[in-house]
Amino acid sequence: MSQDEGGKTNSSEAPELKLENDDLLEDSFRRLPALPSSLLRASRVQALPPLLGFFSRDRDLSGSVEFTPVLDPPDQIPASHFSLQVARGSKVLHCHHGRVLIYSPEEQHLLVWDPVTGDLRHLALPPALDGGKVVVLDGGVVCTSTDQGHVHGACHSDPFQVVVVLGDSARFYGCVYTLETRGWGNLMSLLREPPGGLIPSPTCPGSMFRNSICLLLIGRKPVILQFDWARQNLGTIDVPLDAHDFRAIFCGRHQVLITRGDSGGLSFIVLAGLSVHVWNRTSHGDGNATWIPGNTIQLYNSSPLRSASGGDTVLMVHLESMKFKKLPQKMPYIFCAPFSSFYNPGTHTMKLLMG
Mean predicted lDDT score pLDDT of the chain: 78
Cα R_g (the chain), whole angstroms:
23
The string of pLDDT tens digits covering residues 150-186 is 778 778 778 899 999 999 888 999 999 998 899 999 9
Please give the pLDDT value at position 312: 65
Count CB atoms within 10 A of the CB of residue 195.
Answer: 10
Please give the pLDDT value at position 140: 94
Average pLDDT over residues 270-274: 80
The string of pLDDT tens digits covering residues 188-204 is 999 988 777 788 887 78
Please give the pLDDT value at position 31: 42
Question: Who's near 64: CB < 8 A, 6+ residues apart?
Answer: 83, 84, 85, 86
Question: Does the structure show a pLDDT above 50 at 75?
Answer: yes
Rounded to whole angstroms, the Cα distance separating 125 from 108 reads 7
Please give the pLDDT value at position 261: 78
Which DSSP state fits 61?
S
The string of pLDDT tens digits covering residues 6-43 is 444 444 444 444 434 444 434 433 444 455 554 444 44
Alpha carbon separation from 104 to 81, 193, 265 (Å, rounded): 22, 27, 32
Count CB atoms within 10 A of the CB of residue 236.
Answer: 16
Please give the pLDDT value at position 137: 94
Rounded to whole angstroms, the Cα distance separating 183 from 237 reads 29
Q: Is 245 helix (H, G, I), strand (E, B) or coil?
A: helix
Q: How many CA atoms lie less than 13 Å away from 239 in the CB half-sphere?
A: 30
Q: In this predicted model, which residue has the larger pLDDT, 18 or 334?
A: 334
**CA angle 148–214–225, rounded 5-degree value:** 135
Please give the pLDDT value at position 331: 75
160: exposed, middle or buried (Cβ count in 10 Å: 0-12, 13-18, 19+) = buried
β-bridge pairing 336-340 and 51-56: antiparallel
Which DSSP state fits 328?
S
Give which of 155, 144, 138, 150 is closest to 204, Cα–Cα. 138
In sequence order, the β-bridge partners of residue 293 are 279
The string of pLDDT tens digits covering residues 37-65 is 544 444 444 457 888 999 988 876 778 88
Phi, psi of 13 (to 5 degrees): -100, 115
* Residue 109 parent element (H or E): strand 109-113
* Residue 36 parent element (H or E): helix 36-39
Question: Does the structure show a pLDDT above 60 at 220?
Answer: yes
Question: Does the structure show a pLDDT above 90 at 227?
Answer: yes
Give which of 63, 222, 216, 196 is closest to 133, Cα–Cα. 196
Please give the pLDDT value at position 305: 65
Q: Which of 26-30, 123-127, 286-290, 327-331 has the lowest mean pLDDT?
A: 26-30
Domains assigned to the chain:
32-41+48-354 (2.120.10)
Question: Does the structure show a pLDDT above 90 at 72?
Answer: no
Residue 252 pLDDT grade (very low, low, confident, very high; cuts 50, 70, 90): low
Which DSSP state fits 322?
-
Q: In this predicted model, which residue has the larger pLDDT, 234 or 271?
A: 234
Q: Which of 8-17, 129-138, 232-241 has the lowest mean pLDDT?
A: 8-17
The string of pLDDT tens digits covering residues 289-308 is 899 998 888 877 766 666 66
Count CB atoms within 10 A of the CB of residue 46.
Answer: 12
The pTM score is 0.80
Rounded to whole angstroms, the Cα distance separating 35 from 341 reads 10
Phi, psi of 304 (to 5 degrees): -60, -40
Percent of residues, the chain, with pLDDT higher than 90 = 29
Please give the pLDDT value at position 114: 92
